[in-house]
Structure 1
C-alpha cells in the first residue's frame, strides 16, 4: 500500500547490524521514495488540438490519450513490464479457437457520476466504436467482433468471426475506455464521467484541462495527487523553460538535442525508455506518383536513416526498416536485410518508373516529433542526391492531425507503440482501415493478418508475421526511418516506480496515476 512503519524499519535495520546513524539515513531515503498523497501535478503536453473531444471515438492526440488514462479506465492495461493485465476486467478465458472470450468484471467500481460500473456499461462502451456509421479510430480493431453481450451483471462475452489470440491486448487501445451506459445501450460522455483516478473539473480543448482526485477510486494505491493540471505547450523550448522555472512538474517530449542540459540540473530528473514508437512518412498508394512501387522504393532508398537518427533524435533511437515492428516487440524479424541510404539505387528505381526527375510535396510539423520539420529538411537534402526534389511544407502544429494527417498524400506521421504486431497492422495497414494513412492494400498481407491473428502455434505465428514485415519492407507505401525512445523530464521531487511503461510517454500515459511527490 506504499506505507512504511518507521519503528519496524529501524528494528529490522538495527537487527541487521546497521548503526543508528546509518539506519536513520536509510529510513530518510526510504520514506522519501514511498508513495505519498497530496499536491497539484502540473504536466506540459505537446499536441492539444482545438478539435479535441471527450468522445473517445475521436481521440487522436497525445493530450487526449493522456487524458484517457487519467480520468477513465479500460478493461485491460499495459503493465510496466509491457505485458497485459486486468484493469476493470479481473480475469478472462477463451475458447480453443480464440473466437469466444468471457471477461469477468471487477465489482464495486464507481463512475464519477455515482453509477456503479457493470457489464452493460462495458458492452455499450465497446459497441460505441462499432457499426456502419462509426468513424472511430478503433473501428478496424473490432471488425471481427460478431457480438458483445452481458452474460450477467459482471460478465461480458465477446464472440468473434475469426480467432484473435490478442484480444486482451487489443482492449488496451486508448479509444476503448469504459463509460457509463445511458440505459438505451449507448454511452454518455457529455458530463465527462469516467471511473479513473481523477475527475475533470474543466476542459478547454487545445489549451488546458484540470482534474481532481476521485475520492471513491477503486485503486487504493494509485492517484496520489490531489489534482492534475495538463497544459498544451506545443513548443518544446517553452515546455522546457516552464519546467526549469518550476511552472511544471513534468514535461512530455524533451528536445533530443538539449536533453543533456536537463540531465545536468540537480533539480530535474530525465527518463528515457526504448519503444516501438516511430515517425513514418506515409505515401498514398493510390495517388500518383506513389502508386508506382518503384517510386516508393526510390524514396525509401533516398532516406539516410543513420543521419536521421543522429540529427533528429540525437542518437536516442534505433534504425527502422520500413515496417512498424521494432526490435523490442514480439515477432520482430531481424533477418530482413536492413535498407541503407543508396542514391544510386534510388536513381535506378526512378529510371525504371520513368520518373528520373521526380518532384514531391512533403508536409511536416514539429508536433509529430520535436525537430519534425528538420527531419523533413534532411530528407530534402539526401533525396536531392538521388535526383528527387522534395518540397517541404511547414504545417501548423495545432491543426496537423485534423487537417493534414490522413488528408495529404505525403506527410510525416507519428505512431505510438502498440503491444502486438496484429494491433498495429490492423490499425494502420489493413485494407480499408480508417487509419491506414498510406492507403496500403495487399491481398497476401491481409490474408496473413487473419491467419496470424488466430494462430496459436507460436512458431507458425512468427513465420506469418515475418512474411508480413517483408511485404511492407519490399512493397509497402510507408517509410519508417527509425524508432525513437521516449525522453521526458520531471522535477526531482516527483517520484515513480523502477519500471516505466513504454507504450506512451509519461509512464504509458499513466504518470498522474502512478507517480507521486516525495514527502
Structure 2
C-alpha cells in the first residue's frame, strides 16, 4: 500500500497488523488509539538534496555552501519530521553508524554566511530551481517550500518545481540540477560512501569528485588499527560536509506501527521493519 492514509486505515481496521512509514503529521492520533503502538528506531535513513556538481553554478563549492547555510534544519525537523529524527550535517553517516563524527562543526541556518559564500562565488544573489515530489519522501513538497522561504533572507530565490510522481527516480533524480531525495542508508561507512560518494559510483547522485576523499576511502578499507580507521572516516565526513554535493538536512528515525497482536525483541536500525527481519524476529503476542 503506497498511500500512507490507506496503510494507517488498514492498521486501524485490523486488515493488517503492522505498517511501516505512517504519516508523521497524523501519527500522534494513530498512537493514541487503544491497541496500537509505535516502534521508533534511530537508524541510517536520511533525506537528501543533491546538487549536480558537473555544471555551473553548482560546480562552485561556495554556491553549495551558500545553499547549505540557507536551510533551517531545526524547522525542517519540527515541521516535516515532527521531531522523529535528528538534525544532520550534510554527511550520510548517522548516529547509528560506528564511526559517526558527532564533533564536526554544525552547519546551521545563517543568512550572513550564505551571503558571504555567494560573494565568494562572485554573486550578489542566486536564482535556482528545486525539483521535488512526494515520491522523494513524504512531505518533500512542503520541505521544498520551507527551504524557499528560509533562502529568501540569504539572497537565494528558489523556484519550487513539483515534478510528476511517476518515474521521479528515472527522470528527475541525477538528471535535474537540484532536487530532493531519500536514502535508507547503509550499515557501514564504506558501503554508504562507496555507493554514493566515490568517484565514478553508479549512484553518486551529485557527480561529486574529491581526490583526497577517494584516497581515504580506499585506504580505510584495509586499515586494521581501529583508531586510525576512525580518524579516516571522520576526515571523510568532514570533507563531504564542507565540500560535498549533497545537502543532508536531517536524519530520519524509522517509525513502524503495530497492533497488540504482535510482539518483538530489540529492533535493528539499518532499515524499516526491523532491518527487514520482521518475518524472522516478530511473532504473535
Match of 1:494 in 2: 262
Instruction: Report the alpha carbon displacement of residue 337 of structure 1 after superposing the two structures with TM.
Output: 0.8
Instruction: Report the alpha carbon displacement of residue 386 of structure 1 after superposing the two structures with TM.
Output: 0.6
1:332 aligned to 2:100? Answer: yes
One of 10, 25, 32 as aligned partner of 1:264: 32
1:432 aligned to 2:218? Answer: no
Q: Distance in 2 between matches of 1:351 and 1:432?
A: 31
Q: Deviations over 1:152-191 (max 9, x none)?
A: xxxxxxxxxxxxxxxxxxxxxxxxxxxxxxxxxxxxxxxx
SS in structure 1 at match of 2:146: helix
Match of 2:139 in 1: 371
Instruction: Report the alpha carbon displacement of residue 355 of structure 1 after superposing the two structures with TM.
Output: 2.4
Instruction: Report the alpha carbon displacement of residue 402 of structure 1 after superposing the two structures with TM.
Output: 2.5
Q: Counterparts of 1:80-91 in structure 2 under 5 Å? A: none
Match of 1:309 in 2: 77
SS in structure 2 at match of 1:277: strand
* 8 Å contact kept, 2:96–2:269: no
Match of 2:282 in 1: 515
* Unpaired stretches in structure 1, ≥5 consecutive residues: 1-231
Q: Deviations over 1:66-104 (max 9, x none)?
A: xxxxxxxxxxxxxxxxxxxxxxxxxxxxxxxxxxxxxxx
Q: Counterparts of 1:79-158 in structure 2 under 5 Å? A: none
Match of 1:165 in 2: none
Q: Distance in 2 between matches of 1:408 and 1:382?
A: 22
Q: Deviations over 1:270-325 (max 9, x none)?
A: 11001121001110111211011110000000011111111111111111111111
Q: Distance in 2 between matches of 1:420 and 1:507?
A: 17
Match of 1:346 in 2: 114
Match of 2:4 in 1: 236
Instruction: Report the alpha carbon displacement of residue 401 of structure 1 after superposing the two structures with TM.
Output: 1.9
Q: Distance in 2 between matches of 1:509 and 1:400?
A: 24
Q: Counterparts of 1:369-448 in structure 2 under 5 Å? A: 369-448=137-216
SS in structure 2 at match of 1:379: helix
SS in structure 1 at match of 2:79: helix
Q: Counterparts of 1:446-465 in structure 2 under 5 Å? A: 446-465=214-233
One of 242, 264, 270 as aligned partner of 1:503: 270
Q: Distance in 1 between matches of 2:112 and 2:104?
A: 21
Which runs of structure 1 show a deviation greater than 4 angstroms over 4 or more consecutive aligned residues? none
Task: Quickly say closer, same or farther: Cα 1:238–1:396, change in 2 above 3 A.
Answer: farther
Instruction: Report the alpha carbon displacement of residue 352 of structure 1 after superposing the two structures with TM.
Output: 1.6
Query: Greater relative contact order (Cα 8 A, min sep 6): structure 1 or 2?
Result: 2
Match of 1:246 in 2: 14
Task: Quickly say closer, same or farther: Cα 1:319–1:391, change in 2 above 3 A.
Answer: same
Match of 2:239 in 1: 471
SS in structure 2 at match of 1:489: strand
Q: Which has the larger radius of gyration?
A: 1
Decide which structure has greater helix share: 2
SS in structure 1 at match of 2:221: helix
Q: Distance in 2 between matches of 1:272 and 1:398?
A: 29
Q: Distance in 1 between matches of 2:166 and 2:271?
A: 20
Instruction: Report the alpha carbon displacement of residue 265 of structure 1 after superposing the two structures with TM.
Output: 0.9
Q: Distance in 1 between matches of 2:168 and 2:136?
A: 8
Q: Distance in 1 between matches of 2:50 and 2:140?
A: 14
Q: Distance in 2 between matches of 1:391 and 1:428?
A: 26
SS in structure 2 at match of 1:432: coil
Between 276-285 and 255-264, the greater mean CA deviation after superposition: 255-264
* 8 Å contact kept, 2:186–2:270: yes
Q: Counterparts of 1:4-83 in structure 2 under 5 Å? A: none
1:360 aligned to 2:128? Answer: yes
Q: Distance in 2 between matches of 1:253 and 1:393?
A: 25
Q: Distance in 2 between matches of 1:359 and 1:517?
A: 55
